[in-house]
């Protein structure tokens, strides 16, 4: 009899796991089928509608969809014409604010092929004023080609690449060298044209545009009369990123939102004692603008600021999902390199990990390798040992606003294909994600149902979340003695020397999350930068771009009549 019961329980667990695995597969397949899931794109809007529909299918009644603006590079057209041949191209991510837009008449030059031999292969050839074709997997070679006077660079699509390779194809200064990806199907054709030194004309228009993007959240009210007043938020992002913005399937980037949707389905069927909000944000890869927008509207720890919010949400705790599938190891992190936050959040991490390790026994997982404590280092192994690079999380912004947050992050995964066009569904290791889901579900169940989860905790985090308003003006000595004429549609780029407090030096991208957020000024010459840490320093830059050529015609004045005087 006991054996029969054990077999029945084992079959039940397997059936449930299979159903959830199928659900995860379904979500990832849909999200990654959308061709360009960059925030603000049409694909991202379809993803938002899918999430809203999924919430409704779970019978979550209180659902809200909130709009915010994000400025992104939008490709209107890009092609190469050589004789009777017209070949489509895909623009590469801009160099700072300089896109790959060409003049109206296009860029005319001879095609020159630079092969795997690098600069040796173009020795004796006149690079200056011409268009160079080269392999994508060529590191920073394009910068050498640009320094020799090339007018544009065309990368041939490889069979495979990596995030590290892809992120070498753009720089964080506004270097005027248009760069494009050529689909592999046209590779032989363009190599032949280059071998004949054929003349070609390259035309493209890529513009920075303000687009609507959305945060969606559903509220599931707790069923305990006392505990339902306490709100826990589970957050995941649903946008994607790619060094080629028109090719951004973002399968790995959809792991977190897929787990969020499965959690919503589970808790809708198994109502918790505490109230839970399922929050899906976009704008993650635009310096985490989506979560920053949500915080600015609903979650401020400062009593003075909170009193001015029209719909405040007093969350007791926030869990953020930043998951991938090439590893089955799950880490818990407190979203900060400051000891103060570590001290506050360590007791919660301990409770959650103890619960996860008990769940490991149920599924037969290795306890030591399945869940990692990134809040309080164990055996002398700190958080930085579990990821090859620094990661920036949406939870970073939550903590900045004075709310406790722990992020669930897949560790020991290099995230090879994020920020590339190769981040596709067939590469997903769904069993690894299923394992992480099983542990996350149990840990969050503890937080939602344990009456003692918050007992004895010391939560006193300061709200250091700020909104910086940039005012961009032009100096016209004929009108005023001081710069006062507002500039509309200027691109504002605030650059911080350090990220995550003062712990992490600037770099252009953190696992695809762009450090530089671009905003556009309104008719008053103003632009708001949301989610700046109080007390942090910025190099505030502003540019005006010619709509038709992409050229910069106004830039920051650091001279005697600009920064030195004002």
pLDDT at 14 over 90: no
Token pair, residue 464, equals 């250091």
Q: What is the pLDDT of residue 501?
A: 59
pLDDT at 20 over 60: no
CB 406 within 8 A of CB 375: yes
pLDDT at 458 over 90: no
Q: What is the pLDDT of residue 12?
A: 43
Regarding predicted confidence, which is higher, 228 or 479?
228
pLDDT at 459 over 80: no
Cα separation, 386 vs 16, in Å, equals: 30
List pLDDT tens digits, range 341-377. 888 899 999 999 999 999 999 999 998 899 999 998 8
pLDDT at 441 over 80: yes
Phi-psi region of 535 (alpha: psi -120 to 50; beta: other; left: phi over 0): left
pLDDT at 74 over 60: yes
Q: How buried is residue 102: exposed, middle or buried, by Cβ count under 10 Å (0-12/13-18/19+)?
A: buried
Q: What is the pLDDT of residue 536?
A: 80
Q: What is the pLDDT of residue 502?
A: 61
With bands split at pLDDT 50, 70 and 90, how would you rate the model's confidence at 67? very high
Cα separation, 566 vs 562, in Å, equals: 6
Q: Which of 182, 142, 184, 147 is nearest to 165 (CA)?
A: 142
List pLDDT tens digits, range 232-247. 999 999 999 999 999 9
Q: What is the pLDDT of residue 21?
A: 66
Dihedral sign computed on CA atoms, order 378, 379, 382, 386: negative
If residue 62 lies in a helix (H) or strand (E), which one and from where to where?
Answer: strand 62-82
List pLDDT tens digits, range 26-45. 999 999 999 999 999 999 99
Q: What is the pLDDT of residue 415?
A: 97
Inter-CA distances, 361 with 11, 16, 332, Å: 16, 17, 19
Q: What is the pLDDT of residue 368?
A: 87
Q: What is the pLDDT of residue 563?
A: 72
Token pair, residue 549, equals 């050529």
Q: What mean pLDDT is predicted for residues 140-150?
A: 96
List pLDDT tens digits, range 501-555. 567 888 999 999 999 999 999 999 999 999 999 888 888 999 999 999 999 999 9
Maximum Cα–Cα distance across the chain = 96
With bands split at pLDDT 50, 70 and 90, how would you rate the model's confidence at 5? very low
Q: Which of 444, 55, 45, 448 is nearest to 218 (CA)?
A: 55
User: Taking the mean position of all CA atoms in its chain, how far away is CA 226?
Assistant: 37
If residue 6 lies in a helix (H) or strand (E), which one and from where to where?
Answer: helix 2-33
Mean pLDDT of the chain: 92
List pLDDT tens digits, range 81-107. 998 889 999 999 999 999 999 999 999
List pLDDT tens digits, range 301-330. 999 999 999 999 999 999 999 999 999 999
Q: Which of 352, 293, 336 is nearest to 462 (CA)?
A: 336
To the nearest 5 percent, what fractions of the chain are helix, strand and coil? 30, 30, 40
Q: 180: which residues sit within 8 A by CB, 6+ positions away?
A: 78, 80, 89, 90, 91, 92, 100, 152, 153, 154, 155, 202, 204
pTM (predicted TM-score): 0.93
């Amino acid at each position: 009899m006991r054996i029969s019961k054990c077999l029945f329980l084992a079959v039940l667990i397997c059936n449930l796991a299979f159903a959830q695995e199928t659900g995860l597969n379904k979500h990832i397949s849909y999200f990654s089928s959308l061709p360009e899931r960059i925030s603000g794109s049409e694909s991202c809007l379809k993803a938002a509608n899918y999430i809203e529909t999924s919430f409704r299918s779970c019978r979550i009644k209180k659902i809200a969809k909130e709009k915010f603006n994000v400025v992104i590079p939008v490709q209107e057209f890009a092609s190469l014409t050589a004789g009777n041949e017209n070949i489509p191209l895909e623009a590469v991510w801009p160099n700072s604010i300089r896109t790959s837009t060409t003049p109206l008449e296009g860029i005319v030059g001879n095609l020159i092929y630079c092969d795997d031999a690098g600069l040796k292969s173009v020795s004796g050839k006149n690079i200056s004023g011409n268009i160079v074709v080269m392999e994508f997997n060529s590191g920073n070679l394009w910068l050498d080609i640009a320094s020799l006077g090339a007018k544009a660079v065309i990368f041939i699509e490889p069979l495979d690449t990596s995030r590290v390779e892809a992120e070498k194809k753009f720089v964080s200064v506004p270097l005027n060298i248009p760069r494009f990806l050529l689909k592999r199907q046209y590779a032989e054709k363009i190599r032949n044209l280059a071998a004949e030194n054929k003349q070609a004309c390259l035309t493209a228009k890529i513009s920075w545009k303000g687009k609507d993007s959305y945060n969606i959240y559903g509220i599931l009210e707790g069923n305990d009369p006392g505990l339902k007043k306490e709100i826990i938020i589970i957050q995941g992002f649903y946008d994607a990123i790619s060094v080629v913005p028109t090719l951004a399937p973002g399968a790995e980037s959809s792991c977190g939102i897929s787990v969020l949707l499965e959690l919503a389905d589970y808790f809708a069927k198994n109502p918790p004692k505490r109230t839970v909000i399922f929050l899906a944000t976009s704008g993650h890869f635009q310096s985490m603008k989506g979560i920053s927008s949500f915080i600015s509207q609903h979650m401020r720890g400062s009593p003075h600021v909170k009193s001015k919010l029209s719909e405040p949400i007093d969350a007791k705790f926030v869990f953020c999902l930043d998951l991938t599938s090439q590893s089955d190891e799950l880490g818990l992190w407190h979203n900060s390199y400051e000891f103060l936050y570590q001290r506050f959040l360590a007791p919660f991490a301990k409770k959650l990990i103890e619960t996860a390790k008990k769940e490991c026994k149920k599924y037969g997982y290795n306890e030591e390798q399945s869940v990692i404590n990134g809040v309080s280092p164990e055996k002398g192994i700190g958080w930085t040992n579990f990821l090859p690079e620094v990661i920036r999380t949406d939870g970073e912004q939550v903590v900045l606003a004075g709310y406790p947050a722990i992020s669930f992050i897949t560790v020991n995964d290099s995230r090879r294909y994020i920020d590339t066009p190769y981040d596709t569904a067939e590469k997903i290791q769904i069993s690894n994600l299923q394992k992480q889901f099983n542990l996350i579900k149990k840990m969050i169940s503890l937080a939602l149902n344990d009456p003692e989860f918050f007992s004895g905790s010391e939560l006193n985090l300061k709200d250091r979340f700020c909104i910086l308003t940039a005012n961009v003006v032009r100096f016209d000595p004929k009108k005023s003695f001081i710069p006062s004429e507002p500039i509309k549609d200027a691109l504002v780029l605030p650059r911080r020397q350090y990220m995550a407090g003062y712990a992490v030096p600037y770099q252009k991208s953190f696992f695809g999350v762009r450090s530089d957020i671009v905003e556009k000024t309104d008719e008053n010459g103003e632009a708001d930068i949301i989610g700046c840490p109080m007390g942090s320093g910025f190099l505030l830059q502003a540019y005006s771009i010619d709509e038709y050529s992409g050229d910069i015609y106004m830039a920051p004045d650091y001279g005697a009549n600009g920064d030195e005087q004002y």
